[in-house]
Structure 1
Amino acid sequence: MSAQRLQQLKGHLLHDNKMSAMAGPVSPLSTHVLNTAMGVPGSNMSLSLHRQDPSTEAWSLITTGTTNEDGRCPGLISKQMFVPGVYKMRFETGQYWETIGESSFYPYVEIVFIIKDPGQRYHVPLLLSRFSYSTYRGS
């Protein structure tokens, strides 16, 4: 890994710690998009958050947003709205790549996950390149 990339990662991690120390009320659910192909945050990406109705399995839109210059979309959901259930975050990856002059194999990415304890804090990052993506449950 190049020294420049390591420096970017270090700055990014330090920024995370500063932001959480300065933040006010924190959303119980957060996300972070990282363009791993270019080593930069996935900024200006449209996304939406949905919850599945347990009886019909239909998806209800909760909110939409756009990632900021750091690849984050703060304030996704309030603590009051965050209840147990099945959730989905949809990231408009095709549009994102087009805006930076690239094409992508994936027109969008949907991450579906289960919330059992809404009292916990959940972080669902998206690590992205034009031909692959990964995610994990952070905290």
Structure 2
Amino acid sequence: MSVSTHVLDTGSGTPAVGVPVRLDHYDAENWRLVREGETDPAGRWDLSSPLPGEEAADEAAEEDGGGAAGTRVAAEPPLLVPGTYRLRFGSGRYYAARDAESYYPEITVIFLVTGLGQRHHVPLALGPFGYSTYRGA
């Protein structure tokens, strides 16, 4: 089972690079963090995206000759189970980094995962005063 997103900035017509993304799972009592990160240069994020700090550590290892002790290895994507999930997008931080105003400081999308082996792609068309989402293919 996989979860992914593609965030597009409708104001500029370009991928929304660096949008904070967090995936949570609801365990019948609380929301629990599954994985978090930021959209890549193509505006994409998924469960296999590097955790914060992993890319920098990998680059440092390359500069040290590729085999430096203590090199961080990218964590395996977590295994998902059927249930209720939440994607949280840090739209306020994204626009603040561009010195722009945003009406929505955070966009939350809650969706159901009903079976194993499914792909869940949740695109987000993002604007400073509106957004749209749907289940993609």
TM-score (norm 2): 0.76
Which position in structure 2 is the counterpart of 1:118?
116
How far off its partner does 1:118 sit? 2.5
Cα distance in 1 for residues equivalent to 2:100 and 2:2: 33
Give the root-mean-square deviation of aligned CA atoms.
1.5
Distance 1:28 1:89 in 2: 13
- Pick the aligned partner of 2:40 from 58, 68, 79: 68
Does residue 27 of structure 2 align to residue 29 of structure 1?
no
The aligned length equals 110
User: Is 1:50 the equivalent of 2:48?
Assistant: no
| Greater helix share, structure number | 1
| 1:39 match | 13
Q: 1:30-83 deviations in whole A, cap 9, x for unaligned? A: 1010001110001011111000012x2x100111111111001131683x6111
| Partner of residue 130 from structure 2, selected from 125, 129, 132 | 132
Runs of 4+ in 1 over 2 A off after TM superposition: none
CA distance in 1, matches of 2:18, 2:130: 19
SS at match of 2:93: helix
What TM-score, normalized by structure 1, do the two folds share? 0.74
1:108 aligned partner, one-letter code: E
8 A contact 1:83–1:118 mirrored in 2: yes
Mapped partners of 1:60, 1:98: distance in 2: 27
Mapped contact 1:28–1:118 kept (Cα < 8 A): no
Residue of structure 1 aligned with 2:100, choices 87, 99, 102: 102
- 1:90 touches 1:109 (CA, 8 Å); kept in 2? yes
- Rounded Cα–Cα distance in structure 2 between residues aligned with 1:61 and 1:122: 17
SS of the residue aligned with 2:94? helix
Aligned residue type for 2:132: S
Could you say which residue in structure 2 is the equivalent of 1:89?
Answer: 87
2-structure distance, mates of 1:112, 1:45: 18
Gaps of 5+ in 2: 50-75
